[in-house]
Amino acid sequence: MINLELPKKLRASANQAHQVAKEIFRPVSRKYDLAEHEYPVELDTMAAMVEGLNDSGTQKIGGASGGRSDEHATELLGNTNGGNMSALLNALETSWGDVGLMLSIPYQGLGNAAIAAVATDDQLERFGKVWAAMAITEPSFGSDSAAVTTTAVRDGDDWVLNGEKIFVTAGQRATHIVVWATVDKSLGRAAIKSFVVPRDAPGLSVARLEHKLGIKASDTAVLLLQDCRIPADNILGSPEVNVEKGFAGVMQTFDNTRPLVAAMAIGVTRAALEELRTILTEAGVEISYDTPPNNQHAAAAEFLRMEADYESAYLLALRAGWMADNKKPNSLEASMSKAKAGRTGTDVSLKAVELAGTLGYSQHLLLEKWGRDSKILDIFEGTQQIQQLIVARRVLGLTSAQLK
């Protein structure tokens, strides 16, 4: 029989993250939902805890910087084989507390996953402890990552970047930004590279912060790069343009981050299900696993349906993380997990609001907030439609040119 229990080491790390979510995130969740753009000072405590855990070699709480399980990354980032799984579970647990605060944990940005995915050993040495946001989306495109128009031009010992990036999570607070730019527009997507841009780099500025539907504790910025200069060796991976390989190098980032975003959605889903179960139980609605759903209360039957979706999303995400840790190509599984979890998160959280009635729609509980927060988890790192398109290409063995 297949054993689906988590290893003891991963359970310990996840339990730590759950305590942070319960004791630090949940108590201030509503506070920062109502105070958009106000810095969560409680995260300064988190920063100290993360730094202490890193120094002691313990797994990271937020986990976005997981993804390298080779020997060198183990030494630098405190990861052993299981780094992706640990990062995934930690993201799930902290998102159970508050996904906006999870995205604001210092030194745990989505850009860290990009660094872990494609950086050279020397770059891991230099950028292993930075707080990195990730800047991909531009005003002219959203889901088509190959449509990057931001440029990077080599000038002596520097790269000079020009362009505008929007919807950059932690774009104001992070110490570094991983920017996607093209080094040669004539070569198409193969020329798209990722660059590590320090916050104080000349020519980098924050144009504005966005007002959003959800994840209000997280800052979402518009960044301008105007003749922004960075050192030549701040280009992640190889600077060479390999037309045959395309931009598979930078796309490796998504194989790491999509299961993490799936985990965030799963965390919000579990929070909503737990709250809904409490409400239904207090209302006298019994949820039975021994009676067919069609013979139970309609709300109980709906709960069982949603719980089954939650379980399948959870197992898909674990599979994608396990494959990454075992150096198996997981592009298909990463997109499957992201698509399933994103859709499940919005379905479950909004249905929980509906079934909870007036309690669900009011601010007495966090249900309505989770309903708002969940929507972005079905959008960023590739929308639902993009994930389904990627899955179809992988299953059918077709290229992006053959199936659009």
Checking if the pLDDT of 110 tops 60, the result is yes
227's tokens: 């003749």
Task: Report the Cα 4 to chain-centroid distance in Å.
Answer: 24
Sign, CA dihedral 200-204-207-208, equals: negative
Q: How far apart are CA 256 and CA 68, in angstroms?
A: 9
Given the DSSP bridges, would you call strands 158-169 and 192-198 parallel, antiparallel or unpaired? unpaired
pLDDT of residue 129: 85
| Percentage of the chain modeled with pLDDT above 70 | 88
pLDDT of residue 76: 32
Checking if the pLDDT of 390 tops 90, the result is yes
Checking if the pLDDT of 397 tops 90, the result is yes
Q: Which residues are catalytic?
A: 381
11-40 burial, b at 16+ Cβ within 10 Å, e below that, comes to eebbebbbebbeebbbebbeebbeebeeeb
Residue pair 313/262 in contact by the 8 Å Cβ criterion = yes
Q: For the chain, give the number of residues.
A: 404
pLDDT tens for 86-96 read: 999 999 999 99
Q: Report residue 71's pLDDT band, with 50, 70 and 90 as the boundaries.
A: very low
Q: Report residue 106's pLDDT band, with 50, 70 and 90 as the boundaries.
A: confident
Q: Report residue 67's pLDDT band, with 50, 70 and 90 as the boundaries.
A: very low
Q: How far apart are CA 4 and CA 224, in angstroms?
A: 46
Alpha helices in 35-82 (DSSP H): 42-56, 71-77
Q: What is the mean pLDDT of residues 302-331?
A: 95
Q: Report residue 14's pLDDT band, with 50, 70 and 90 as the boundaries.
A: very high
Beta bridge partners of 220: 169
Q: Which residue has the tokens 């993360």?
A: 50
Q: What is the mean pLDDT of residues 105-113?
A: 85
Checking if the pLDDT of 204 tops 90, the result is yes
Cα–Cα nearest to 89, from 321, 280, 301, 252: 321
Q: What is the DSSP letter of 7?
A: P
C-alpha distances out from residue 131 to 115, 157, 169, Å? 11, 24, 12
